[in-house]
C-alpha cells in the first residue's frame, strides 16, 4: 500500500473513531470494488454504510468479502465482517441468517480471544432474543456482555447494552427499571461522544413516558431525537423516532399529525428495506385507525404487520399486535 493509500485509510479510521460515518463512506467507496478481498478498507466501508442505514448494501458487500478466499492474515477483519453481517441481516428482518452469523462471530471471538467482539456478538444475540419474546434469554445475553465491555472500557457498546436492557424491561412492563437503564445508556453514550446512541436512549425514555401516560413528553422527546437522527443520516432510528411521534400524537387525539408521522416513518423504513421498523409502524398506526373508528384500515395494517412479524419470527412483537384484537 502506497503512502497516499495509507493516509486515506488513516483518515478514515480517525473519522470512524469520531462517528463521522458519511465522511468514512466518501473516503473509502472509491477504493472498494463490487467484489473485493478481505481488506480493512472494505470492512470499514461496510461498517460506515451500516451506520448510515444502508443495510442491504452493507449485506451485499460483506457477503462478497466473506465469499472470497481468505488471503489476509488478519483474522480480526474476518470476525468483524461476520459480526456485521449478522447486524445487517437483523436490521433487514432476516433473523435466521442473523443468528447464524452472530453465533459464528461468537465462536470465532471465543477461539481467538477477542473479548470486545465477543461482547458485541452476545449483545446482538440478546436483541434478537428480545424480539422473539425470549426476555430472560435476552437479559442473560446482555448481562454476560456487560462485564467484558466494562473491562475494556467500551462506553459506546455499554450504552448500546444498557439501551437494549431498557427495551427488554419496557417490554416486560418494568418501567422504572427500563427508565433507569435508558438513563445509564445516555450517560455512557455522552461520555463516549456518541450522539446517535444518546438519542436512542432518549427515544427509549420517551417510550417509557408514553406508557406512563405522558404523551406530550414522549412526543417532544421523540421529535428532538428525529432531528438528531436526520442530522447524522440514520434513517432506521429516525423512522423509529417518527413512529413514537405518531403514537404520542395518537394518544393526544391529534390524528392527522399522527398519520403524517407514521407515513414519514414508513417511507424511510420501506426505502431501506427495514422490515421490522415497517411492521412496528403499521402496528402502531392500526391503533390510530381504531381510535378513528376506521376498523377496515386498522385490520389491513395489522394484517400486513403480522405477515412481517411472522416471517421474521418476531414472536414478542406479534404478541403485542395480538393485543389489539384485530386478528
Q: Where are the domains of the chain?
A: 1-112, 114-212, 227-327
The answer to whether the 1-112 and 114-212 domains have the same CATH topology is yes
Closest CA to 171 of 319, 327, 307: 319
Q: Are 41 and 6 in contact (CB under 8 A)?
A: no
Q: Are 25 and 13 in contact (CB under 8 A)?
A: no
Q: How many helices (H) and strands (E) does the chain have?
A: 17, 0
**Helices 155-171, 195-211: inter-axial angle, 10-degree rounding:** 20
Domain 1-112 has CATH 1.10.645.10: no
Q: Are 104 and 82 in contact (CB under 8 A)?
A: yes
Q: Quote the pLDDT of residue 20.
A: 82
For residue range 10-21, what is the model confidence (pLDDT) as tens digits? 888 888 887 788
Tens digit of each residue's pLDDT, the chain (327 residues): 455 557 888 888 888 887 788 888 888 888 776 456 778 888 999 999 988 888 899 999 999 888 876 666 678 889 999 999 999 998 888 888 999 999 999 999 989 989 888 888 999 999 999 988 899 999 999 998 899 888 888 898 899 999 999 999 999 999 999 999 999 999 999 998 899 999 999 999 999 999 999 999 999 999 999 999 999 889 989 999 999 999 999 999 999 999 999 999 999 999 988 888 999 999 999 999 999 999 999 999 999 999 999 888 888 788 778 777 775
Q: Quote the pLDDT of residue 36.
A: 64
Q: Which cell is 31 given?
A: 477504493
Q: What is the pTM of this model?
A: 0.86
Q: What is the signed CA dihedral for 37, 38, 41, 44, rounded to 10 degrees?
A: 140
Q: Quote the pLDDT of residue 73.
A: 61
Q: Quote the pLDDT of residue 16.
A: 86
For residue range 104-122, what is the model confidence (pLDDT) as tens digits? 999 999 899 898 888 889 9
Q: Quote the pLDDT of residue 314.
A: 84
Q: Quote the pLDDT of residue 33.
A: 65
Superfamily of structural domain 227-327: Tetratricopeptide repeat domain (1.25.40.10)
Determine the CATH number of domain 114-212.
1.25.40.10
Amino acid at each position: 500500500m502506497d503512502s497516499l493509500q495509507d493516509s486515506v485509510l488513516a483518515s478514515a479510521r480517525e473519522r470512524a473513531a469520531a462517528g463521522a460515518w458519511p465522511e468514512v463512506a466518501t473516503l473509502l467507496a472509491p477504493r472498494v470494488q463490487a467484489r473485493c478481498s478481505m481488506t480493512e478498507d472494505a470492512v470499514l466501508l461496510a461498517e460506515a454504510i451500516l451506520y448510515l442505514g444502508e443495510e442491504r448494501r452493507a449485506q451485499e458487500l460483506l457477503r462478497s468479502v466473506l465469499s472470497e478466499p481468505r488471503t489476509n492474515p488478519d483474522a480480526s477483519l474476518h470476525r468483524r465482517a461476520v459480526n456485521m453481517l449478522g447486524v445487517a441481516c437483523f436490521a433487514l428482518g432476516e433473523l435466521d441468517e442473523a443468528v447464524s452469523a452472530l453465533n459464528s462471530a461468537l465462536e470465532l471471538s471465543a477461539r481467538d480471544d477477542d473479548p470486545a467482539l465477543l461482547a458485541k456478538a452476545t449483545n446482538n444475540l440478546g436483541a434478537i432474543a428480545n424480539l422473539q419474546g425470549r426476555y430472560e434469554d435476552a437479559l442473560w445475553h446482555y448481562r454476560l456482555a456487560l462485564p467484558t465491555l466494562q473491562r475494556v472500557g467500551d462506553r459506546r457498546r455499554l450504552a448500546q447494552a444498557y439501551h437494549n436492557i431498557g427495551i427488554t424491561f419496557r417490554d416486560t412492563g418494568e418501567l422504572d427499571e427500563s427508565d433507569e437503564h435508558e438513563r445509564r445508556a445516555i450517560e455512557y453514550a455522552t461520555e463516549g461522544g456518541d450522539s446517535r446512541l444518546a438519542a436512542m436512549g432518549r427515544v427509549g425514555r420517551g417510550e417509557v413516558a408514553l406508557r406512563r401516560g405522558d404523551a406530550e413528553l414522549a412526543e417532544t422527546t421523540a421529535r428532538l431525537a428525529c432531528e438528531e437522527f436526520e442530522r447524522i443520516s440514520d434513517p432506521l432510528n429516525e423512522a423509529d423516532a417518527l413512529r413514537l411521534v405518531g403514537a404520542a400524537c395518537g394518544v393526544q387525539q391529534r390524528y392527522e399529525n399522527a398519520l403524517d408521522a407514521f407515513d414519514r416513518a414508513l417511507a424511510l423504513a420501506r426505502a431501506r428495506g427495514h422490515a421490522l421498523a415497517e411492521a412496528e409502524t403499521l402496528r402502531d398506526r392500526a391503533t390510530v385507525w381504531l381510535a378513528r373508528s376506521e376498523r377496515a384500515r386498522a385490520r389491513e395494517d395489522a394484517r400486513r404487520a403480522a405477515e412481517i412479524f411472522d416471517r421474521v419470527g418476531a414472536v414478542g412483537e406479534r404478541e403485542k399486535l395480538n393485543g389489539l384484537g384485530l386478528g
